[in-house]
Structure 1
Amino acid sequence: MFVALEPRRLYRQVAEQLRALIETGELPTGERLPAERELAERLGVSRPTVREALIVLEVEGLIQIRMGSGVYVSRKPPTKAVLPADDSDGPFELLQARCLIESAIAEEAARIARPEHIAALDALLAEMAVTLEDSHQALSIDRAFHTAIADIIGNSALNRFTGLIYDRRLSPYFEKLASYFEGPHTWQMALEEHTAIRDAIAAGDPEAARHAMREHLTRSQKRFSESFGEEPVRED
Protein backbone atom coordinates (compact mmCIF):
# COMPACT_ATOMS: atom_id res chain seq x y z
CA MET A 1 0.00 0.00 0.00
CA PHE A 2 2.75 2.48 0.95
CA VAL A 3 6.15 2.73 -0.76
CA ALA A 4 9.29 4.09 0.94
CA LEU A 5 10.46 7.33 -0.69
CA GLU A 6 13.78 8.67 -1.87
CA PRO A 7 14.95 12.01 -0.38
CA ARG A 8 13.73 14.59 -2.97
CA ARG A 9 11.18 17.15 -1.81
CA LEU A 10 9.78 14.42 0.35
CA TYR A 11 6.63 16.21 1.45
CA ARG A 12 5.58 16.56 -2.20
CA GLN A 13 6.16 12.86 -2.82
CA VAL A 14 4.19 11.93 0.29
CA ALA A 15 1.29 14.15 -0.85
CA GLU A 16 1.39 12.59 -4.32
CA GLN A 17 1.31 9.05 -2.92
CA LEU A 18 -1.54 9.76 -0.52
CA ARG A 19 -3.47 11.52 -3.27
CA ALA A 20 -3.09 8.47 -5.52
CA LEU A 21 -4.42 6.21 -2.75
CA ILE A 22 -7.45 8.48 -2.33
CA GLU A 23 -8.03 8.62 -6.08
CA THR A 24 -8.00 4.84 -6.45
CA GLY A 25 -10.34 4.40 -3.49
CA GLU A 26 -7.77 2.54 -1.42
CA LEU A 27 -8.31 5.35 1.08
CA PRO A 28 -12.08 5.92 0.75
CA THR A 29 -14.03 9.01 1.77
CA GLY A 30 -14.58 9.13 5.52
CA GLU A 31 -11.72 6.80 6.36
CA ARG A 32 -9.25 7.77 9.04
CA LEU A 33 -5.66 7.76 7.85
CA PRO A 34 -3.04 5.86 9.84
CA ALA A 35 -1.48 7.89 12.66
CA GLU A 36 1.39 10.21 11.76
CA ARG A 37 3.95 7.96 13.39
CA GLU A 38 2.74 4.96 11.41
CA LEU A 39 2.68 6.89 8.13
CA ALA A 40 6.21 8.14 8.77
CA GLU A 41 7.45 4.62 9.44
CA ARG A 42 5.75 3.12 6.40
CA LEU A 43 7.01 5.84 4.07
CA GLY A 44 10.48 6.06 5.56
CA VAL A 45 10.28 9.81 6.27
CA SER A 46 10.10 12.08 9.32
CA ARG A 47 6.85 13.09 10.99
CA PRO A 48 7.33 16.77 10.04
CA THR A 49 7.50 15.64 6.39
CA VAL A 50 4.20 13.79 6.82
CA ARG A 51 2.73 16.90 8.45
CA GLU A 52 3.72 19.09 5.51
CA ALA A 53 2.15 16.64 3.06
CA LEU A 54 -1.08 16.49 5.04
CA ILE A 55 -1.30 20.29 5.02
CA VAL A 56 -0.99 20.28 1.21
CA LEU A 57 -3.85 17.80 0.92
CA GLU A 58 -6.03 19.73 3.37
CA VAL A 59 -5.51 22.98 1.43
CA GLU A 60 -6.64 21.05 -1.66
CA GLY A 61 -9.72 19.82 0.21
CA LEU A 62 -8.87 16.12 0.01
CA ILE A 63 -8.59 15.49 3.74
CA GLN A 64 -9.86 16.96 6.97
CA ILE A 65 -7.58 17.33 9.98
CA ARG A 66 -9.42 16.99 13.29
CA MET A 67 -7.09 17.91 16.11
CA GLY A 68 -7.07 15.25 18.80
CA SER A 69 -8.97 12.79 16.60
CA GLY A 70 -6.92 12.28 13.47
CA VAL A 71 -6.93 12.87 9.74
CA TYR A 72 -9.85 11.78 7.54
CA VAL A 73 -10.43 11.55 3.80
CA SER A 74 -13.02 14.24 3.12
CA ARG A 75 -13.94 13.73 -0.53
CA LYS A 76 -12.77 12.47 -3.89
CA PRO A 77 -9.95 14.52 -5.45
CA PRO A 78 -10.69 17.17 -8.07
CA THR A 79 -10.14 16.37 -11.74
CA LYS A 80 -6.68 17.93 -11.61
CA ALA A 81 -4.74 17.97 -8.35
CA VAL A 82 -2.75 21.07 -7.50
CA LEU A 83 0.54 20.62 -5.67
CA PRO A 84 2.59 23.61 -4.54
CA ALA A 85 4.81 25.02 -7.27
CA ASP A 86 8.08 23.20 -7.82
CA ASP A 87 9.97 25.96 -6.01
CA SER A 88 7.69 25.87 -2.95
CA ASP A 89 9.73 25.02 0.12
CA GLY A 90 8.17 23.10 2.98
CA PRO A 91 7.63 24.97 6.27
CA PHE A 92 10.26 22.92 8.07
CA GLU A 93 12.78 23.45 5.27
CA LEU A 94 12.26 27.19 5.58
CA LEU A 95 12.68 27.21 9.34
CA GLN A 96 15.86 25.15 9.11
CA ALA A 97 17.29 27.51 6.47
CA ARG A 98 16.44 30.54 8.59
CA CYS A 99 18.06 28.92 11.62
CA LEU A 100 21.36 28.47 9.80
CA ILE A 101 21.41 31.90 8.13
CA GLU A 102 19.97 34.13 10.84
CA SER A 103 22.16 32.64 13.57
CA ALA A 104 25.19 33.89 11.65
CA ILE A 105 23.53 37.28 11.13
CA ALA A 106 22.83 37.66 14.86
CA GLU A 107 26.43 36.72 15.64
CA GLU A 108 27.78 39.46 13.36
CA ALA A 109 25.19 41.97 14.59
CA ALA A 110 26.42 41.50 18.17
CA ARG A 111 29.90 42.58 17.10
CA ILE A 112 28.86 45.94 15.64
CA ALA A 113 25.51 46.96 17.16
CA ARG A 114 25.23 50.57 18.30
CA PRO A 115 22.81 52.05 20.87
CA GLU A 116 20.37 53.18 18.17
CA HIS A 117 20.16 49.61 16.88
CA ILE A 118 19.28 48.31 20.33
CA ALA A 119 16.68 51.08 20.71
CA ALA A 120 15.05 49.93 17.46
CA LEU A 121 14.90 46.34 18.73
CA ASP A 122 13.45 47.55 22.05
CA ALA A 123 10.70 49.45 20.26
CA LEU A 124 9.72 46.34 18.30
CA LEU A 125 9.71 44.18 21.43
CA ALA A 126 7.45 46.70 23.19
CA GLU A 127 5.11 46.74 20.19
CA MET A 128 4.99 42.96 20.00
CA ALA A 129 4.17 42.70 23.72
CA VAL A 130 0.82 44.42 23.16
CA THR A 131 -0.17 42.55 19.98
CA LEU A 132 0.10 38.92 21.10
CA GLU A 133 -3.63 38.39 20.60
CA ASP A 134 -3.46 39.51 16.98
CA SER A 135 -1.49 36.92 15.01
CA HIS A 136 -1.43 39.06 11.87
CA GLN A 137 0.11 42.00 13.72
CA ALA A 138 2.47 39.79 15.68
CA LEU A 139 3.67 38.21 12.45
CA SER A 140 4.37 41.63 10.94
CA ILE A 141 6.36 42.73 13.98
CA ASP A 142 8.17 39.40 14.07
CA ARG A 143 9.33 40.00 10.50
CA ALA A 144 10.40 43.55 11.38
CA PHE A 145 12.43 42.27 14.35
CA HIS A 146 14.35 39.76 12.25
CA THR A 147 15.05 42.23 9.43
CA ALA A 148 16.09 44.87 12.00
CA ILE A 149 18.85 42.54 13.15
CA ALA A 150 20.03 42.19 9.55
CA ASP A 151 19.86 46.02 9.28
CA ILE A 152 22.54 46.28 11.97
CA ILE A 153 25.10 44.82 9.57
CA GLY A 154 24.33 47.48 6.98
CA ASN A 155 24.28 45.13 3.99
CA SER A 156 21.20 45.81 1.86
CA ALA A 157 21.46 42.48 0.03
CA LEU A 158 21.52 40.60 3.32
CA ASN A 159 18.56 42.58 4.64
CA ARG A 160 16.58 41.91 1.46
CA PHE A 161 17.45 38.21 1.60
CA THR A 162 16.28 37.97 5.23
CA GLY A 163 12.96 39.54 4.29
CA LEU A 164 12.51 37.34 1.24
CA ILE A 165 13.14 34.07 3.05
CA TYR A 166 10.83 35.19 5.87
CA ASP A 167 8.08 35.97 3.37
CA ARG A 168 8.19 32.40 2.07
CA ARG A 169 6.25 31.47 5.18
CA LEU A 170 3.26 33.43 3.84
CA SER A 171 2.31 30.55 1.52
CA PRO A 172 -1.17 29.03 2.04
CA TYR A 173 0.52 25.81 3.21
CA PHE A 174 2.56 27.50 5.95
CA GLU A 175 -0.44 29.64 6.95
CA LYS A 176 -2.62 26.55 7.30
CA LEU A 177 0.02 24.84 9.46
CA ALA A 178 0.28 27.99 11.58
CA SER A 179 -3.51 28.06 12.03
CA TYR A 180 -3.21 24.88 14.11
CA PHE A 181 -0.14 25.64 16.18
CA GLU A 182 0.26 29.44 16.38
CA GLY A 183 -1.53 31.70 18.86
CA PRO A 184 -1.02 34.11 21.78
CA HIS A 185 0.86 31.50 23.83
CA THR A 186 3.37 30.80 21.04
CA TRP A 187 3.84 34.51 20.35
CA GLN A 188 4.56 35.01 24.05
CA MET A 189 7.28 32.37 23.80
CA ALA A 190 8.64 34.07 20.68
CA LEU A 191 8.69 37.42 22.52
CA GLU A 192 10.74 35.92 25.34
CA GLU A 193 13.13 34.36 22.83
CA HIS A 194 13.41 37.67 20.95
CA THR A 195 14.31 39.35 24.22
CA ALA A 196 17.14 36.86 24.78
CA ILE A 197 18.45 37.62 21.27
CA ARG A 198 18.25 41.37 21.91
CA ASP A 199 20.07 41.03 25.25
CA ALA A 200 22.92 39.04 23.69
CA ILE A 201 23.32 41.58 20.87
CA ALA A 202 23.19 44.49 23.34
CA ALA A 203 25.86 42.79 25.46
CA GLY A 204 28.11 42.53 22.42
CA ASP A 205 28.33 38.76 22.85
CA PRO A 206 28.47 37.13 19.38
CA GLU A 207 28.44 33.55 20.66
CA ALA A 208 25.43 34.17 22.89
CA ALA A 209 23.61 35.96 20.07
CA ARG A 210 24.19 33.06 17.67
CA HIS A 211 22.98 30.60 20.31
CA ALA A 212 19.89 32.68 21.18
CA MET A 213 18.83 32.95 17.53
CA ARG A 214 19.42 29.26 16.90
CA GLU A 215 17.46 28.40 20.04
CA HIS A 216 14.58 30.65 18.95
CA LEU A 217 14.23 29.17 15.47
CA THR A 218 14.77 25.61 16.70
CA ARG A 219 11.96 26.10 19.20
CA SER A 220 9.82 27.56 16.42
CA GLN A 221 10.27 24.31 14.50
CA LYS A 222 9.23 22.32 17.57
CA ARG A 223 6.13 24.45 18.05
CA PHE A 224 5.01 23.41 14.57
CA SER A 225 5.79 19.77 15.33
CA GLU A 226 2.76 18.88 17.40
CA SER A 227 0.76 15.84 16.35
CA PHE A 228 -2.53 16.02 14.44
CA GLY A 229 -3.48 12.63 15.81
CA GLU A 230 -4.41 11.11 19.13
CA GLU A 231 -1.01 9.85 20.29
CA PRO A 232 1.09 11.93 22.72
CA VAL A 233 3.56 14.36 21.14
CA ARG A 234 7.09 13.03 20.89
CA GLU A 235 10.07 14.33 19.01
CA ASP A 236 11.34 12.33 16.02
Structure 2
Amino acid sequence: MLNDTRPRRQYRQVADQIMALVASQALAPGERLPSERDLAELLSVSRPSLREALIALEVEGHLEIRMGSGIYVGTIPPADGATISTDSEGPLEILQARCIIESAIAEEAARHVGDELIARLDDNLREMGAALNDRARAILLDGQFHIAIASGVGNSVLANFTAQIYEKRLSPFFTQFSSRFEGPRTWRLALAEHGAIRDAIADGDAPAAREAMRHHLTESQRRFTESFLVERHRGA
Protein backbone atom coordinates (compact mmCIF):
# COMPACT_ATOMS: atom_id res chain seq x y z
CA MET A 1 0.00 0.00 0.00
CA LEU A 2 1.29 3.42 -0.91
CA ASN A 3 1.95 5.80 1.96
CA ASP A 4 -0.42 8.79 2.11
CA THR A 5 1.84 11.80 1.69
CA ARG A 6 -0.96 14.38 1.65
CA PRO A 7 -0.33 17.22 4.11
CA ARG A 8 -2.71 17.76 7.00
CA ARG A 9 -5.52 20.09 6.05
CA GLN A 10 -4.92 23.76 6.77
CA TYR A 11 -7.55 24.07 9.50
CA ARG A 12 -6.12 20.97 11.23
CA GLN A 13 -2.63 22.48 11.22
CA VAL A 14 -4.05 25.65 12.75
CA ALA A 15 -5.93 23.58 15.35
CA ASP A 16 -2.61 22.00 16.33
CA GLN A 17 -1.10 25.48 16.74
CA ILE A 18 -3.97 26.59 18.95
CA MET A 19 -3.66 23.57 21.21
CA ALA A 20 0.11 24.08 21.39
CA LEU A 21 -0.57 27.65 22.51
CA VAL A 22 -2.98 26.42 25.19
CA ALA A 23 -0.31 24.02 26.43
CA SER A 24 2.53 26.57 26.33
CA GLN A 25 0.50 29.08 28.34
CA ALA A 26 -0.76 26.36 30.70
CA LEU A 27 -4.34 27.51 30.23
CA ALA A 28 -6.70 25.56 32.44
CA PRO A 29 -10.28 24.51 31.56
CA GLY A 30 -12.52 27.56 31.57
CA GLU A 31 -9.69 30.02 30.98
CA ARG A 32 -9.98 32.43 28.11
CA LEU A 33 -7.85 32.45 24.98
CA PRO A 34 -6.85 35.60 23.10
CA SER A 35 -9.50 37.16 20.87
CA GLU A 36 -10.12 35.86 17.37
CA ARG A 37 -8.28 38.81 15.86
CA ASP A 38 -5.33 38.42 18.23
CA LEU A 39 -5.13 34.69 17.64
CA ALA A 40 -5.00 35.18 13.87
CA GLU A 41 -2.16 37.67 14.25
CA LEU A 42 -0.34 35.63 16.89
CA LEU A 43 -0.41 32.44 14.82
CA SER A 44 0.05 34.25 11.47
CA VAL A 45 -2.95 32.51 9.93
CA SER A 46 -5.93 33.68 7.92
CA ARG A 47 -9.23 34.39 9.66
CA PRO A 48 -11.09 31.69 7.65
CA SER A 49 -8.56 28.98 8.58
CA LEU A 50 -8.66 30.12 12.21
CA ARG A 51 -12.45 29.91 12.30
CA GLU A 52 -12.49 26.41 10.89
CA ALA A 53 -9.85 25.34 13.41
CA LEU A 54 -11.67 26.89 16.37
CA ILE A 55 -14.95 25.24 15.48
CA ALA A 56 -13.29 21.88 14.83
CA LEU A 57 -11.80 22.09 18.32
CA GLU A 58 -15.19 23.09 19.72
CA VAL A 59 -16.86 20.06 18.10
CA GLU A 60 -14.15 17.88 19.64
CA GLY A 61 -14.71 19.48 23.06
CA HIS A 62 -11.27 21.08 23.40
CA LEU A 63 -12.64 24.64 23.25
CA GLU A 64 -15.86 26.47 24.02
CA ILE A 65 -16.93 29.45 21.91
CA ARG A 66 -19.26 31.81 23.76
CA MET A 67 -21.02 34.27 21.49
CA GLY A 68 -20.45 37.84 22.64
CA SER A 69 -17.86 36.71 25.17
CA GLY A 70 -14.84 34.88 23.84
CA ILE A 71 -13.02 31.61 23.29
CA TYR A 72 -12.35 29.39 26.31
CA VAL A 73 -10.58 26.13 27.04
CA GLY A 74 -13.21 23.39 27.22
CA THR A 75 -14.41 22.39 30.66
CA ILE A 76 -15.87 19.02 29.61
CA PRO A 77 -13.39 16.33 28.52
CA PRO A 78 -13.75 15.42 24.82
CA ALA A 79 -16.03 12.43 24.30
CA ASP A 80 -14.73 9.24 22.74
CA GLY A 81 -15.09 9.42 18.97
CA ALA A 82 -15.43 13.21 18.98
CA THR A 83 -12.16 13.75 17.14
CA ILE A 84 -12.64 14.96 13.58
CA SER A 85 -10.68 12.89 11.08
CA THR A 86 -7.59 14.61 9.73
CA ASP A 87 -9.02 13.78 6.30
CA SER A 88 -12.31 15.62 6.95
CA GLU A 89 -12.84 18.43 4.50
CA GLY A 90 -13.26 21.89 5.97
CA PRO A 91 -16.55 23.75 5.30
CA LEU A 92 -14.82 26.41 3.20
CA GLU A 93 -13.04 23.78 1.13
CA ILE A 94 -16.39 22.14 0.44
CA LEU A 95 -17.95 25.46 -0.58
CA GLN A 96 -15.04 26.20 -2.88
CA ALA A 97 -15.40 22.82 -4.58
CA ARG A 98 -19.13 23.34 -4.94
CA CYS A 99 -18.54 26.75 -6.49
CA ILE A 100 -16.31 25.30 -9.19
CA ILE A 101 -18.49 22.29 -9.97
CA GLU A 102 -22.00 23.68 -9.55
CA SER A 103 -21.26 26.77 -11.63
CA ALA A 104 -20.59 24.46 -14.58
CA ILE A 105 -23.71 22.44 -13.76
CA ALA A 106 -25.90 25.58 -13.73
CA GLU A 107 -24.43 26.60 -17.07
CA GLU A 108 -25.34 23.22 -18.53
CA ALA A 109 -28.80 23.29 -16.93
CA ALA A 110 -29.53 26.54 -18.79
CA ARG A 111 -28.82 24.70 -22.04
CA HIS A 112 -31.29 21.95 -21.17
CA VAL A 113 -33.96 24.02 -19.45
CA GLY A 114 -37.53 22.76 -19.52
CA ASP A 115 -40.84 23.74 -17.94
CA GLU A 116 -40.62 20.94 -15.36
CA LEU A 117 -37.30 22.19 -13.96
CA ILE A 118 -38.49 25.79 -13.70
CA ALA A 119 -41.70 24.66 -11.98
CA ARG A 120 -39.62 22.71 -9.43
CA LEU A 121 -37.39 25.70 -8.80
CA ASP A 122 -40.36 28.04 -8.43
CA ASP A 123 -42.00 25.72 -5.90
CA ASN A 124 -38.72 25.50 -4.01
CA LEU A 125 -38.29 29.28 -3.90
CA ARG A 126 -41.82 29.76 -2.55
CA GLU A 127 -41.27 27.15 0.16
CA MET A 128 -37.88 28.56 1.09
CA GLY A 129 -39.34 32.05 1.34
CA ALA A 130 -41.70 30.74 4.01
CA ALA A 131 -38.93 28.93 5.91
CA LEU A 132 -36.38 31.68 6.56
CA ASN A 133 -36.84 31.36 10.31
CA ASP A 134 -36.71 27.56 10.27
CA ARG A 135 -33.05 26.68 9.87
CA ALA A 136 -33.51 22.93 9.43
CA ARG A 137 -36.21 23.44 6.80
CA ALA A 138 -34.17 26.11 5.01
CA ILE A 139 -31.15 23.81 4.81
CA LEU A 140 -33.31 20.99 3.38
CA LEU A 141 -34.81 23.28 0.75
CA ASP A 142 -31.42 24.75 -0.07
CA GLY A 143 -30.13 21.28 -0.87
CA GLN A 144 -33.19 20.43 -2.92
CA PHE A 145 -32.70 23.58 -5.01
CA HIS A 146 -29.14 22.69 -5.95
CA ILE A 147 -29.94 19.03 -6.56
CA ALA A 148 -32.91 19.98 -8.77
CA ILE A 149 -30.61 22.03 -10.99
CA ALA A 150 -28.20 19.13 -11.36
CA SER A 151 -31.09 16.79 -12.11
CA GLY A 152 -32.23 19.19 -14.82
CA VAL A 153 -29.09 18.45 -16.80
CA GLY A 154 -30.32 14.90 -17.31
CA ASN A 155 -27.13 13.27 -16.02
CA SER A 156 -27.64 11.03 -13.00
CA VAL A 157 -23.94 11.10 -12.11
CA LEU A 158 -24.04 14.88 -11.72
CA ALA A 159 -27.27 14.72 -9.74
CA ASN A 160 -25.90 12.05 -7.39
CA PHE A 161 -22.60 13.88 -7.01
CA THR A 162 -24.37 17.12 -6.12
CA ALA A 163 -26.47 15.30 -3.52
CA GLN A 164 -23.41 13.59 -2.04
CA ILE A 165 -21.32 16.75 -1.74
CA TYR A 166 -24.30 18.62 -0.25
CA GLU A 167 -24.66 15.90 2.39
CA LYS A 168 -21.26 16.96 3.73
CA ARG A 169 -23.06 20.09 4.89
CA LEU A 170 -24.87 17.92 7.43
CA SER A 171 -21.69 16.73 9.17
CA PRO A 172 -21.26 17.80 12.83
CA PHE A 173 -18.30 19.99 11.82
CA PHE A 174 -20.11 21.83 9.01
CA THR A 175 -23.33 22.05 11.05
CA GLN A 176 -21.54 23.69 13.97
CA PHE A 177 -19.60 25.95 11.63
CA SER A 178 -22.62 27.21 9.70
CA SER A 179 -24.76 27.61 12.82
CA ARG A 180 -22.38 30.34 13.96
CA PHE A 181 -23.02 32.50 10.91
CA GLU A 182 -26.42 31.61 9.45
CA GLY A 183 -29.74 33.17 10.29
CA PRO A 184 -32.83 34.73 8.66
CA ARG A 185 -30.72 37.55 7.20
CA THR A 186 -28.27 35.22 5.47
CA TRP A 187 -31.10 32.96 4.27
CA ARG A 188 -32.84 35.98 2.73
CA LEU A 189 -29.65 36.77 0.83
CA ALA A 190 -29.34 33.16 -0.29
CA LEU A 191 -32.97 33.15 -1.44
CA ALA A 192 -32.39 36.24 -3.59
CA GLU A 193 -29.29 34.60 -5.08
CA HIS A 194 -31.29 31.45 -5.80
CA GLY A 195 -33.84 33.62 -7.59
CA ALA A 196 -31.13 35.06 -9.83
CA ILE A 197 -29.92 31.55 -10.67
CA ARG A 198 -33.46 30.45 -11.49
CA ASP A 199 -34.02 33.45 -13.77
CA ALA A 200 -30.79 32.89 -15.71
CA ILE A 201 -31.63 29.21 -16.22
CA ALA A 202 -35.22 30.04 -17.22
CA ASP A 203 -33.86 32.49 -19.83
CA GLY A 204 -31.58 29.80 -21.21
CA ASP A 205 -28.65 32.14 -20.59
CA ALA A 206 -25.82 29.71 -19.87
CA PRO A 207 -23.09 32.29 -19.07
CA ALA A 208 -25.44 34.19 -16.73
CA ALA A 209 -26.47 30.97 -14.99
CA ARG A 210 -22.84 30.05 -14.44
CA GLU A 211 -22.06 33.49 -13.04
CA ALA A 212 -25.16 33.55 -10.82
CA MET A 213 -24.21 30.22 -9.25
CA ARG A 214 -20.59 31.28 -8.85
CA HIS A 215 -21.72 34.51 -7.20
CA HIS A 216 -24.06 32.65 -4.83
CA LEU A 217 -21.49 30.16 -3.57
CA THR A 218 -18.74 32.77 -3.42
CA GLU A 219 -21.02 34.96 -1.33
CA SER A 220 -21.77 31.98 0.91
CA GLN A 221 -18.05 31.68 1.61
CA ARG A 222 -17.76 35.42 2.21
CA ARG A 223 -20.62 35.43 4.71
CA PHE A 224 -18.75 32.79 6.71
CA THR A 225 -15.43 34.63 6.64
CA GLU A 226 -16.19 38.33 7.08
CA SER A 227 -18.21 38.35 10.30
CA PHE A 228 -16.61 37.92 13.70
CA LEU A 229 -17.00 34.49 15.24
CA VAL A 230 -17.71 35.46 18.82
CA GLU A 231 -19.52 38.76 18.33
CA ARG A 232 -23.28 38.71 18.26
CA HIS A 233 -24.63 39.35 14.77
CA ARG A 234 -27.07 42.18 14.36
CA GLY A 235 -30.12 41.14 12.39
CA ALA A 236 -29.01 37.52 12.27
Same fold (TM over 0.5): yes
TM norm structure 1: 0.87
Structure-1 residue corresponding to 2:229: 228
Structure-2 residue corresponding to 1:4: none
For structure 1, the 5+ residue unaligned runs are 1-6
Q: Secondary structure at the match of 1:196?
A: helix
Q: Secondary structure at the match of 2:108?
A: helix
Deviations 1:98-125 (Å, cap 9, x if unpaired)? Answer: 0111011111111110122111111111
Change (3 A) 1:125 1:10: same
Q: Secondary structure at the match of 2:204?
A: coil
Does residue 134 (structure 1) correspond to residue 110 (structure 2)? The answer is: no
Change (3 A) 1:112 1:76: closer
Number of corresponding residues: 226
Pick which of 174-183 and 20-29 moved more.
20-29
Residue type of the alignment partner of 2:186 = T
Distance 2:152 2:168 in 1: 22
Whether the aligned pair in 2 keeps the contact of 1:12 and 1:83 (CA below 8 Å) is: no
Change (3 A) 1:13 1:20: same
Distance 1:122 1:205 in 2: 17
For structure 2, the 5+ residue unaligned runs are 1-6
Deviations 1:27-68 (Å, cap 9, x if unpaired)? Answer: 333332222233223333211111011111111222221223
Does residue 187 (structure 1) correspond to residue 175 (structure 2)? The answer is: no
Distance 2:100 2:120 in 1: 24
Q: Secondary structure at the match of 1:153?
A: coil
Structure-2 residue corresponding to 1:164: 164
Distance 1:87 1:138 in 2: 28
Q: Secondary structure at the match of 1:181?
A: coil
Distance 1:177 1:84 in 2: 13
Q: Secondary structure at the match of 1:34?
A: coil
Structure 2 matches for 1:18-167, cutoff 5 A?
A: 18-23=18-23, 26-75=26-75, 78=78, 82-167=82-167
Structure-1 residue corresponding to 2:4: none
Change (3 A) 1:86 1:74: closer
Change (3 A) 1:42 1:81: farther
Deviations 1:141-177 (Å, cap 9, x if unpaired)? Answer: 1101000000111110110000111111111111111
Residue type of the alignment partner of 1:129 = G
Aligned-residue RMSD, C-alpha: 2.3
1:181 to partner: Cα distance: 1.2
Distance 1:220 1:63 in 2: 25
- Give aligned-pair identity as a percent: 59
Distance 1:57 1:191 in 2: 31
Change (3 A) 1:79 1:124: closer
